[in-house]
Structure 1
Amino acid sequence: MPITLTVPEGLLSPQAQAEAFSGLADAILEVSGLTGNAFMTANIVGSINVLPKEHVLAGGKVVAAAFVELKLPEIALATPEAKSAFIEKATDIVEKAAGGRLKREHIWSNIVYAPEGAWGIAGRSYDNASLIEAIAGSSVTL
């Protein structure tokens, strides 16, 4: 379940970047009720994009901002409540990581869904049923 965190250079220290990413991963697991699920934990992946300050814009102007994008299979975080909970948690996590250097209104999040059967892990295509089966088969708590 890829997460992309995009921030301008200098906004988050390397340690704060790592802590924010870890917090975002934990938020996905918590909101989806899968904390401790080995399959899900291993498949929360992603990247942190640190861009030159002049490449991060809002309203057409350079601004200290952060963007969180979460890509999921269409069965994940399917309820409006789950989506809202993740977005609220993600905003809190990034705001805390920035330590007062970022206005809350300059944190944007979005959730993008892969269509049925278009989720791939280790060269295998998962449809919703096989993904649910893999998650359920790995219910061992870490």
Structure 2
Amino acid sequence: MPITVTLTEGIVPSQNQAKVVKEITDAFLVHHGLGGNKVMTPNVTAQLHLQPKHETFSAGEPIAGAWIEIKSPSFALADRAVQKNFFEDVTNIVYKYAEGKLPKKHIWTNSIHTVDGTWNMDGMAMTNEELTEAIAKG
């Protein structure tokens, strides 16, 4: 499940950036009941992007912000309680590590569901059913 964390440069100190990624990754696993799952844990990947303020916008104007996007199969982040609790945790994680430099209203999140059968894990494109079977082994 790729997680993309995009931050305006300077809002999260460099020593805290990896902590943001780690805690968001852990929260995703925990909210799906997969904490410690040997199959899923290494397959929740992340990319951290740092952008200069003149390249991050709200309403077409430069702004300091954070954007977190999760790409997952359709069965992940499908439950409303999981959505609310996970994205609340994500917001609080970024807010905490921004150390007062970023209001919560400047932390945006979203999720994109992939087409069934296109999820690649261990070099194989898997359907939701195949992925669920693999996860159950972990």
- Runs of 4+ off more than 2 Å: none
Structure 1 residue 18 displacement after superposition = 0.3
| Aligned positions of 1:23-34 closer than 5 A | 23-34=23-34
CA RMSD between the two structures: 0.9
Q: SS at the partner of 1:18?
A: helix
- Superposed CA offset, 1:10-56 (max 9, x none): 11122211000001001101110111101111001010000111001
Aligned to 1:55: 55
Aligned to 1:4: 4
Q: Distance in 2 between matches of 1:101 and 1:64?
A: 9
Q: Distance in 2 between matches of 1:105 and 1:76?
A: 25
Taking only the aligned residue pairs, the percentage that are identical comes to 38
| 1:123 lines up with 2:123 in the alignment | yes
Aligned to 1:69: 69
Q: Distance in 1 between matches of 2:112 and 2:15?
A: 27
Q: Which amino acid aligns with 2:45?
A: V
- Superposed CA offset, 1:78-134 (max 9, x none): 111111111111100000010000011000000110011111123200101110111
Gaps of 5+ in 2: none
Aligned to 1:135: 135
Q: SS at the partner of 1:89?
A: helix
| 1:20 lines up with 2:20 in the alignment | yes
Gaps of 5+ in 1: none
Q: Distance in 1 between matches of 2:131 and 2:60?
A: 40
Aligned to 1:90: 90
TM-score between both structures, scaled by the size of structure 2: 0.96
| Number of aligned positions between the proteins | 138
Q: Which moved more, 1:77-86 or 1:129-138?
A: 77-86
Aligned to 2:35: 35
TM-score between both structures, scaled by the size of structure 1: 0.94
Q: Distance in 2 between matches of 1:122 and 1:131?
A: 11
Q: Distance in 1 between matches of 2:24 and 2:52?
A: 23
